[in-house]
Amino acid sequence: MAARAPVKATTNLLQKFQKWYYNAAGFNKLGLVRDDTLYEDEDVREAVRRLPEKLYNDRMFRLKRALDLSMKHQILPKDMWTKFEQDERYLQPYLKEVICERMEKEEWNKK
């Protein structure tokens, strides 16, 4: 049983560091989530294009609000910040699909 304590302590420490880093990054203070901050290469653009309308509109609202706040040199009130626990990776399933399709096309083109 004593061997499990360090693993649990390490996991707890890692989670605390993740929360600290999430807050230190600052995008949550503008109401953004992690997937809103991805570099928009062709794969990300295609994944965004495939988003359902509701997710796409939510993303555009967050981005426009963040741009407006940034231009005004403001942040949201603390109760409106995106919390680490609430951050959902909404784009990841679409992005994985796009990447798999691209890799498959590249494999086919090699032959």
Distance CA 75, CA 78 (A): 8
pLDDT, one tens digit per residue, over 65-96 is: 999 999 999 999 999 999 999 999 999 999 99
What structural domains and CATH numbers belong to the chain? 26-110 (1.10.1090.10)
6 has a pLDDT exceeding 80: no
**Helix ranges (DSSP H) in the chain:** 4-25, 42-49, 53-71, 92-110
pLDDT (0 to 100) of residue 1: 47
Distance CA 71, CA 54 (A): 26
pLDDT, one tens digit per residue, over 19-72 is: 999 999 999 999 999 999 999 999 999 999 999 999 999 999 999 999 999 999
Q: State the CB neighbour count (10 A cutoff) for residue 104.
A: 10
pLDDT (0 to 100) of residue 7: 66
Q: Binning pLDDT at 50, 70 and 90, where does residue 8 land? A: confident
Angle between helices 42-49 and 92-110 (to 10 degrees): 120
pTM: 0.82
